[in-house]
Amino acid sequence: MGDWPIAIGTSELLDQGLNTASTTLTSVTSSATPNAMGSWTQIVASSPIDAQMVHVMLSVDDSTRDSLMDLGIGAVGAEKIVFPKMLLTNSNNDRMAWSFLMPVPVKAGIRIVARVQTSSISLVRRIGLHLMGRSFLGFSAMGRVLAWGADILTSSGTLVDPGTVANTFGAWSELVSSTINKVRALYVMVGNNNLSVRGTCAAHLQIGIGAAGSEKVLIPQMQLRSQTATDLWTPRVFGPFFAQVPAGVRISAKAQCSITTATERLIPVVVYGVD
C-alpha cells in the first residue's frame, strides 16, 4: 500500500487519542453541572495528516447515563464543532465500546477536541480516532454534521414511543420540523433513557420524511434489541446511509416493540445529517 493510491481509498490510517499504558481511549469528563457541556478535552494537539475521513471509537465505562458528546476542531478558545451531540449510552454501569466512520475531512495541523454533557455530574466518556489519509483522487469530502432530535435538557434524544400495542408501529415523533440545508448522508444513534432495567425485547425503528400526517419512510426497519443481562438497546449507531435529503424537510421517527411496558419500550433517537 503506497502513500498515494491513485484511485479512491485511504493512504494511511493513524490512531490518535489512545492511552496505550492502560489500553484505553482519551477520557472526557462531563461538567459539574448536570446537562451542561463540559470543557473541551484535547484528543490531538496537531493532526499529523490531511484526513479525508475519521474512524471514531467511543466507549462508556462508568455510571448509567445518556450523554451527548461534541467532537470539535480548533485552537484553545476557538473550537468549532464538527460532529455535534453524539448520543452515547450504556446501562447497568456496563462498559460498552463501538465505532463508526465519519466522512468529514480534517486538515493537517488541526487540533482535535471533544466535550461531553450528562444528566449526572463529572462522568467519564472516552474517545479515540483513526485519521484516514487521502488518496490521489480521494472521496468527495463532506462538511458539517448536524444533529436532529438531541435533547440537551436531558442529555439524550427525542423519545420515540412504540405505543401500547406490541409489534405494531406507534405514532411518528418529530425530530426536526425543517432541515436547514441539504444533507448527503445520515446516521441514527440510539440512547437508553438512563434506564438501568430493561427487559428482553426487540424493536424496529424507522426514519421518515414529510409533513405530519403524510410521512414517508426514508430508512426502513432498523433492528434493535435489549436483553435483561445488559438492559441496553443495541446497536447504538446505524449508518452511514448515503441518503440525500433536501433543505426544508421535516424528519421524524417511529417504532414498534415486542413489549408494551411503559418506559422500557421507549427509544431515545438522534439523527445526524452530513452535508
Partner 1 sequence: MGDWPATLGHGKIVQYGISPSNSLGTSTTSGTANAKSPWTQLTPLSSISAHGFFLQILSQGLNDNLVDVGIGESGAVKVIVSNVLYTCGSIADQLFFYAPVSIAANSKVWARHQSTGSSGDTIYVSALLCAHGFLGLRPVSKFVTFGAMTSDSGGTEVDPGGTANTKGAWTEIVASIAIKVRMLYVAIGNRDLATRATMSLFIDIGIGASGAEKVLMSNLYCLSEDGGDTWTPQMFGPFFTQVPSGTRLSARAQCSSATINERLFDVVLYGAP
Q: Nearer to partner 1 by C-beta: 109 or 246? A: 246
CA distance 18 to 96: 16
Q: Nearer to partner 1 by C-beta: 159 or 243? A: 243
Q: What is the dihedral of CA 30, 31, 36, 41, to 10 degrees?
A: -60
Number of residues written out for the chain: 275
Sheet with 41-44: list strands edge to edge.
Answer: 41-44, 112-118, 67-73, 80-88
Q: How far is the CB of 61 from partner 1 (least distance, A)?
A: 7
Q: How far is the CB of 133 from partner 1 (least distance, A)?
A: 10
Distances (CA, A) of 184 to 70, 107, 137, 144, 248: 20, 21, 19, 11, 14
Residues in contact with partner 1 by CB under 8 A are 1, 5, 7-10, 13-15, 18, 20-25, 55, 57, 59, 61, 92, 94-99, 101, 128, 130, 132, 135, 139-140, 167, 184-185, 200-204, 209, 218-225, 227, 229-230, 234-235, 238, 240-246, 256-258
Residue 113: count of CB within 10 angstroms of its CB = 27
Q: How far is the CB of 231 from partner 1 (least distance, A)?
A: 9
Q: Nearer to partner 1 by C-beta: 5 or 74? A: 5
Q: How far is the CB of 126 from partner 1 (least distance, A)?
A: 8
Residue 79: count of CB within 10 angstroms of its CB = 19
Residue 6: count of CB within 10 angstroms of its CB = 9
Task: Answer whether 63's CB lies under 8 Å from 196's CB.
Answer: no
CA distance 190 to 203: 12
For residue 74 the three cell numbers come to 480548533
Q: How far is the CB of 76 from partner 1 (least distance, A)?
A: 26
CA distance 49 to 13: 10
Distances (CA, A) of 85 to 105, 135, 142, 161: 18, 30, 18, 21
Q: Nearer to partner 1 by C-beta: 34 or 243? A: 243
Q: Nearer to partner 1 by C-beta: 35 or 208? A: 208
Q: How far is the CB of 156 from partner 1 (least distance, A)?
A: 20
Q: Nearer to partner 1 by C-beta: 141 or 152? A: 141
Q: Nearer to partner 1 by C-beta: 75 or 229? A: 229
Nearest to 266 by CA among 192, 196, 199, 206: 192
Q: How far is the CB of 162 from partner 1 (least distance, A)?
A: 9
Q: How far is the CB of 253 from partner 1 (least distance, A)?
A: 15
Q: Nearer to partner 1 by C-beta: 37 or 270? A: 270
